[in-house]
Amino acid sequence: MSEAVAKKLSFAAIALVALIFFGAWVFRGYIQNSLPAAVGIPGGDTASSTPGPGGTQPPLFEYLEVMDGCGPYYDTGTCVNMRSGPGATYPVVERLRTGVVLRVEKEVTVDGQVWDKIGFDNTVKYPDRLGADLYVANEFVRTFYDDGNHLLTKDSSATTKRIVIDVGKEMLYAYDGDTLFMQEPVSTGLELTPTARGTFTVFKMTPARYMQGPIPGVSDQVYDLPGVPWNLYFTTDGAVIHGAYWHDHFGQPWSHGCVNLPPQKAKGLYMWAVVGTSVIVKD
């Protein structure tokens, strides 16, 4: 082999290696940009995009959102069935209404159908009521990614955002500085389970919660509400601003002390808010 030919082959080999590395770099960027983003407002103004200790990005978890289920009283639309196993032959455990958000523990494929096995971010108060594993057919829901519980820490950034709850008017107002972001009718606590008054701070945010009653010292009522969506915790006694998919009485008291919003309005507020947002509840 001549020296000129050897040089040409060497150059071709180097160019091929460089092309392979460039292709790998481009593919890596494509995959990163294709990953479903954590729920949040574009630009990262949300706890979902806040790096963890040492600047590392917190892990993302998969959630599902029921976008086209039945209405709050099961009398309109078609409910999405939650079953005790990954298949249509398993018994229906719960009929899911529009607005439900649930954590996905894992995906299971059976006969070409993807089923989401449901898990929970919080400890279930009355686990004996579940009685079985829970599955939802993936084709009937929207999936997204979020880092789960967003907690207020000493490193949380200060914010000019605040939420004002006017109990007398049953209205919520959300401001960033002097700019009004949202004005929306809400449902606060009933007479026997009033919403706490005062000035508080959103110390925890999470996209989904399994809420159950009774709650000792708060309510004797028995209830099971899987997938309560878009939660902003503002008191350690469990007062939360969240979506309510089980009623449409916004504008009048209707809760056990929480502040209820229509699910899509609660979602918008959740995407806008950050841990550290002030919450002012007044008469």
Helix segments in 47-142, DSSP class H: none
Cβ burial of 239 (10 Å; 0-12, 13-18, 19+) is buried
pLDDT above 60 (res 10): no
Q: pLDDT tens digits, residue range 117-140?
A: 999 877 788 888 877 799 999 999
Phi, psi of 267 (to 5 degrees): -65, -45
Superfamily the domain 150-282 falls into = L,D-transpeptidase catalytic domain-like (2.40.440.10)
Domain ranges in the chain?
57-146, 150-282
Instruction: Provide the pLDDT for residue 123.
Output: 77
Percent pLDDT > 70 in the chain is: 79
Instruction: Provide the pLDDT for residue 25.
Output: 43
- Evaluate whether 35 touches 145 at the Cβ level (below 8 Å): yes
Cα-based distances in Å from 75 to 59, 70, 100: 39, 7, 16
pLDDT above 70 (res 40): no
More confident residue, 19 or 238: 238
171: number of CA atoms within 13 Å, CB side?
7
pLDDT bracket for residue 3 (50, 70, 90) = low
* Candidates 1.10.760.10, 2.30.30.40, 1.10.3720.10, 1.10.645.10; CATH matching 57-146: 2.30.30.40
- 265: helix, strand or coil: helix
More confident residue, 128 or 69: 69
- Evaluate whether 209 touches 121 at the Cβ level (below 8 Å): yes
Q: pLDDT tens digits, residue range 175-206?
A: 999 999 999 999 999 999 999 999 999 999 99
pLDDT above 90 (res 51): no
pLDDT bracket for residue 7 (50, 70, 90) = very low
Instruction: Provide the pLDDT for residue 132.
Output: 78
CA distance 38 to 41: 9
Q: pLDDT tens digits, residue range 150-163?
A: 999 988 889 999 99
Number of Cβ within 10 Å of residue 136's Cβ equals 26
Q: Which residues are bridge partners to 87 per DSSP?
A: none
Number of Cβ within 10 Å of residue 190's Cβ equals 15
CA distance 93 to 155: 42
